[in-house]
Amino acid sequence: MVFEGNHGKCRACAMAVPRPSPIDAARREQLEQLWQQLGLSPPLPLKDDELAQLNEALTHTSSGLHPHHEQLEFLGDAVLRLAATEFIASTQPQLPMGERSALRAQLVSDQWLAQLGEQIGIARWWQIGAMASGDVAGHATLRAELSEALIGAIYAIGGLQAVQAWLTPYWQPTSAAVLADPHRGNSKSALQEWSQGQALGLPAYDTREASRRHGDPRRFHCRVSLPDLLAEGWGGSRREAEQHAAAALLAEIKASNGDRA
């Protein structure tokens, strides 16, 4: 669902906007379809305040509607890390702490959240502004933000157990892939190993803050270079931006070398 938005109002003014009227029947049906499709608990029907939280999670700031997703995204960030920590502890109890941290970083990354949003078809239920709708390149960021907000809403409605039950089937293949990778998904380490093996020296990273908005998944921009090679990436932290840039450069190297990198 796309809205014209209300970009001219200041944040303080937006905070003064009253909460919306009750959700209409069509939107209620949409939200209940989402809840049922995801196999979430508690079972339908949801209470009015639970539907309101679900609707809030799927309402992006760009829509100009209130309340929007930011508070639930903030909650979802904390819940996601806790749920991932417990998932790793229960499925990989012998994994050293350093490797647990590396695995968790993959399970809570913006890239993983964007993939989750794509898998569940979150665009069918989101409410975004017209400009955001037209910015197709930014849809991965929208999917990541609203997926994290959705996690916050699921926690508020069903608790941590509901979040874990929902995310575990999505985490299992990611976890298996990361653990099968000798670099544990650490693209910087993999790129450094490759570059040194090719006698190209160490990759050079130029990382800068591109946004000051808290929680912005594109807050930092990074360019990584080697002789005759260059790639870039974005992330919510310097580390994430550098990892994404390294992953992008590795992908280019593999493509040009016939996947032998």
212 vs 229, which has greater pLDDT? 229
131, pLDDT greater than 50: yes
Residue 225 lies in domain: 187-256
On whether residue 173 sits in a domain, the answer given is yes
**How many domains, the chain?**
2
259 vs 208, which has greater pLDDT? 208
57, pLDDT greater than 60: yes
CATH number, residue 95: 1.10.1520.10
Asked whether the beta carbons of 63 and 129 are under 8 A apart, the reply is yes
CATH number, residue 232: 3.30.160.20
- 163 alpha carbon, distance to own chain's centre: 15
**pLDDT class for 29, splitting at 50, 70, 90?**
very high
Q: What is the pLDDT of residue 19?
A: 54
What are the phi and psi torsion angles at 218 (to 5°)?
A: -115, 35
What are the phi and psi torsion angles at 40 (to 5°)?
A: -90, 160
Task: Please give the Cα distance from 203 to 188 (Å, whole number).
Answer: 9
CA-to-CA separations, 57 to 23, 53, 122, 155, 162, in angstroms, rounded: 14, 6, 11, 11, 16
On whether residue 261 sits in a domain, the answer given is no
> For residues 207-216, b (16+ Cβ closer than 10 Å) or e, as one string?
beeeeeeeeb
175 and 228 both lie in a single domain: no
121 and 195 both lie in a single domain: no
Q: What is the pLDDT of residue 10?
A: 35
Q: Which residues are catalytic?
A: 77, 148
Asked whether the beta carbons of 153 and 54 are under 8 A apart, the reply is yes
Mean pLDDT in residue range 129-138: 86
30 and 107 both lie in a single domain: yes
Task: Please give the Cα distance from 31 to 127 (Å, whole number).
Answer: 12
Mean pLDDT in residue range 212-232: 89
On whether residue 63 sits in a domain, the answer given is yes
Give the residue from 180, 197, 217 where a domain finishes: 180
197, pLDDT greater than 80: yes
